[in-house]
Amino acid sequence: MVKSQTATIIIRVDPSGPDAAAIQQAAAILLGGGLVAFPTETVYGLGANALDAAAVQRIFVAKGRPASDPLIVHIAALDQLDSVAAEVSVLAHSLAQAFWPGPLTLVLKRRPAIPASVSAGRDTVAVRIPDHAVPLALARAAGVPIAAPSANMFTRPSPTVAAHVLEDLDGRIDLLLDGGTTPIGLESTVLDLTGAQPALLRPGGVSMEALRQHIPDLVFVPRYVENAPAAALASPGMLLKHYSPRAELLLFAGSPERALARMRQAAQAAIQQGERVGVMLPNEEIGTFADLAVVIIPLGPRDDMSQIGRRIFAGMRELDRRGMQRILVRGVARTGIGLAIWDRLLRAAEGRVIETDD
Ligand code: TXA
Ligand code: MG
């Protein structure tokens, strides 16, 4: 009998000062070609030795991720950058100085030491220094760059607690370092510096406003694509169906009052059809649904966009676990971290946006 699954070891670690023995064990697994999931300041990552093509291949298999979607390489310090990336420009250096460690991923020219499979065959590489003690200690202990996409199955919402990682990957990975809830809860911003103009590929933990301090004319031109893998190759990571719950999610845009009124109508109609309905809303707005048979996920105070951002992926997963068939979410203002929240909700909705201001 072929044994396709092994037990996943789970070790709890202090997110601000992980135990050295746990880090040593994790580093040994990485250097032996294994897979280790760990918390970062954004979401949980699924790591492999970025210099080991066979280990990198295992990431794609474990996640069910198409080989056309490139991975992010994590390093522990700026002096490792030159071993990963080439032609690092003055702009790249100043962005790294300003935002690392932190949730900004830079796409640069790839060094040959990084296997082509990490970057899905491209001559570029995505790299960042995470702002979290666990991956920093791990990259230092292993002494190699660590390739790590988010630690979820392909197209599922990204994991913000260890239980989400296990939900998707238990038995498919060697070790999970459980460091509690990830502080940002949304992935890093991906900025491509290899073209004629810097291009924002994915809004994330570093806001567009902060980047504009360095790149005044930066814009986000979403180029979502509907189908993989051919289209994904032209525009990696921009698959519209991404971060999706199993339930069908609808995103309501427009003024809060109108959006809420339309959501209420939609909830009533779905309930009448016999559907199980979940709603995700700022705390102040949950009263709108108090008399309806819906499951409510309060996302946090309306003005606390950081908290809302931290909760959306967990909210989608919870509603899936509770068997919802439809999820209704009110959109957020697309400023600051709101741009990343909007992007994730839009993709979870696979583009189903209900405009309520006309
Ligand atoms: O916050 C994060 O970025 C997390 C943590 C674990 O670091 N990682 C993460 O990785 O979200 P992943 O693989 O789920 O998303 C990586 C994104 C994808 O959209 C991918 O297409 C893009 O980065 N990317 C990676 N390498 C690229 C490259 N060479 N050129 C263009 N896009 C690239
Ligand atoms: Mg991902």
pLDDT digits (tens, 9 = 90+) for 111-141: 999 999 999 999 999 999 999 999 999 999 9
Output the pLDDT for position 142. 98
CA of 125 from ligand 1 middle (Å) equals 10
Ligand 1 atom closest to 232 (CA): 21
Q: Nearest Cα to 11, choosing from 178, 140, 194, 209?
A: 178
pLDDT in 10s for each residue of the chain, 358 residues: 444 567 999 999 999 999 999 999 999 999 999 999 999 999 999 999 999 999 999 999 999 999 999 999 999 999 999 999 999 999 999 999 999 999 999 999 999 999 999 999 999 999 999 999 999 999 999 999 999 999 999 989 999 999 999 999 999 999 999 999 999 999 999 999 999 999 999 999 999 999 999 999 999 988 777 655 544 455 556 666 667 788 999 999 999 999 999 999 999 999 999 999 999 999 999 999 999 999 999 999 999 999 999 999 999 999 999 999 999 999 999 999 999 999 999 999 998 999 998 7
Taken as a whole, the chain contains a residue count of 358
CA of 146 from ligand 2 middle (Å) equals 15
Sheet containing strand 277-281, strands side by side: 295-298, 277-281, 326-330, 248-253, 353-355
Tokens encoding 279: 């709603």
Q: Are 49 and 30 in contact (CB under 8 A)?
A: yes
Rounded distance, CA 245 to CA 241, Å?
10
CA of 343 from ligand 1 middle (Å) equals 15
Q: Specify the pTM.
A: 0.95
Ligand 1 atom closest to 124 (CA): 29
Q: Which residues line ligand 1 (CB under 6 A)?
A: 40, 42-43, 45, 69-72, 103, 105, 107, 119, 122, 124-126, 130, 148-150, 187-188, 190, 192, 201-202, 236-237
**Phi and psi at residue 12, in whole multiples of 5°?**
-80, 135
Ligand with smallest separation from the Cα of 123:
1
